[in-house]
Amino acid sequence: MAAPRWNLGPTREPLGLIRALQGFFSIFAFATVGGFRGSVGFRLSCAGSPNASSSAPFAYPFRMNLATFTPSLTTMCNQTWPMDVHLVGDFSSSAQFFVVVAVFSFLYSLGALALYLGYLHLYRGAGGRLPLADFLATAAFSFLWLVASSAWAKALTDIKASVAAPLPHCHPPAVTCHRDGATPMGALNVSVVFGFLNLILWLGSSWFVFKETKFHQPPAPPAPGPM
């Protein structure tokens, strides 16, 4: 295997600079989703029994149908709730797909950047095979970011609806349920922004990678003018 020729020159070109930005923003994309923890709570006013409160914690991968209110509502308000109450929906597929795309995007952009910095002479001297493979992978990741970001944006809308849903069996004045607040989801909103920002970066980099392939024909120099 040829020895690397380390050179920071590609980082001053769009080819390397965009790869570095892709890795940077991919970290934020999967960190804002994978590290999220939240909860939603209610205060309960019950006729003939002391007031109480209960909350349902939820987190990545957002299997909301497994988020149970604790303490159990079955022990409150003279057993108004015959069984445990859960949040609604399972959004794990969209959340996990988004995180997987972000993680693999980070790994690929990091590997591609290392290739540019150490083996650019092989990259540009391999008969166009490496640039072509790089272009196809970049196009594939662009498509994956489009699908993942769109699916996660829709899932986030449904997660907010699940958190905002009222408790069942709340019938004033016998049982009054007051929302006790929910964890702000600003970080998840930002994750959607990072998802579509990554889409733009990968679409943009596809052009600069395509220019490295043998299919790109540079424009011919202008013809000399008359003497």
Ramachandran quadrant class, 207 (left: phi over 0; alpha: psi -120 to 50; beta: rest): alpha
Residue 115 falls inside a structural domain: yes
Q: Is residue 223 part of a domain?
A: no
**DSSP class per residue in 62-107:** --GGG-B-BS-GGGSTTT-SSS--B-----HHHHHHHHHHHHHHHH
User: Which pTM was predicted?
Assistant: 0.87
Here the tokens at position 124 are 């540009």
221 within some domain: no
Residues 6+ apart with CB under 8 A from 81: 73, 74, 168, 169
Ranges of the chain whose pLDDT falls below 50: 220
CATH code of the domain containing 116:
1.20.140
- Evaluate whether residue 225 is within a structural domain: no
Q: Tell me, what's the pLDDT at 34?
A: 93
Percent share of the chain, pLDDT over 90: 54
Q: According to the model, what pLDDT value does residue 49 have?
A: 76
User: Per the structure, how many domains does the chain have?
Assistant: 1
Whether 4 is in a domain gets the answer: no
The answer to whether residue 28 sits within a structural domain is: yes
How far the first Cα of the chain sits from its last, in Å, is 53
**Each residue of 3-56: pLDDT tens digit?**
777 777 777 888 889 999 999 999 999 999 999 999 999 998 887 777 888 999
- Looking at residue 156, what is its pLDDT? 96
pLDDT recorded at residue 79 = 79
Tell me which residue range forms the domain holding 92.
9-216
Q: Answer whether residue 2 is part of any domain.
A: no
Q: Flag whether 127 is in a domain.
A: yes
Q: What pLDDT was estimated at residue 153?
A: 97
